[in-house]
Amino acid sequence: MIMNIQLFLFDYGGVIAPEGFQLGILKLSEMFSKSYKKMYDIAAREAAFESGYSAGKRNEEYYWNLIAKRLELDRDLYPLRYLYLDNFQPRSEMIQIIQNLSRRHRLGIFSDQTNWIFELNQKYDFFKYFQHKFISYDRGYTKRDEEFYKLPLEETKLTADRILIIDDKKRVLNMASKLGFQTYHFTSINSFREFITDLTEQ
C-alpha cells in the first residue's frame, strides 16, 4: 500500500506529456523507410544512450550527425528535431492534476530528457510546479544508472520509502522498487487521477 509520501517524482515523456521520443523515432523510420526496430537501435540506443547524449555528455548536433552517419546520408538532419519536439506538448489534464497537487505537496521531475525539455519549458512553463528537477541531460546519468536514483535522496535528504516515482516504463519502476522507492505504473490519466485523489484524501 502506497502511503506517507513526502515527494512525488514524475516522468516527463509518457506521463506529463506523450512519449514523444518513441513517436519521433516512428516518424523517422517512416521518413527513411526503415523498420522501427532499426531506427530505434540507431536513434535511441546508439545515438542517444550509448553516445552519452541523453546524459548530457554529447550535444544535439552530435546526435543528429551520428544518425546521418548510420543512415549513410550526406545531409544535415538537425532540422528534423521538430519530429520529436512537436510530440512533447504537456497534457493539459496532467498539468491540472500537477498544479492542484503542487499546492499541498512537494513535486519533482525525474526523467530521461535531453536539452529539449528546457526548450519545452520555455514554451509551456511547467517547471514552476516542481521544486526538484532530476533531468538526465543536466545530471550526467540516466534511469539506466543506479546513481541517477541516488540524486533525489542526496538532494532532499528523504529516504527512498518516502518518495513515489511515477513512470510509464516497468523497467524503471522495477529498478526503483529494488532501491526502496515507492512506485506507480502510469497507464492513463483517468486512472492516475483516481489514484492521486484516493491517495491524497487518506
Query: What pLDDT is recorded for position 202?
Result: 63
Tell me what pLDDT residue 115 has. Answer: 97
pLDDT for residue 137: 98
Domain ranges of the chain: 7-18+90-200, 20-85
The set of cell numbers assigned to 180 is: 526502496
Beta-bridge partner residues of 107: 8
The rounded distance, in Å, linking the Cα atoms of 61 and 108 is 28
Q: How far apart are CA 119 and CA 125, in angstroms?
A: 10
One-letter amino acid at 102 equals: S
All residue ranges of the chain with pLDDT < 70 are: 1, 202
Q: What is the pTM of this model?
A: 0.95
* Cell of residue 112, nine digits: 530521461
Confirm if 97 and 14 have CB atoms less than 8 A apart: no
Record the cell numbers describing residue 202, joined without a space.
487518506
> SS3 of 139, please?
helix
pLDDT of residue 1: 66
Question: Which CATH number does 7-18+90-200 carry?
Answer: 3.40.50.1000
Question: What 3-state DSSP class applies to 46?
Answer: helix
C-alpha cell read off for 195: 489514484
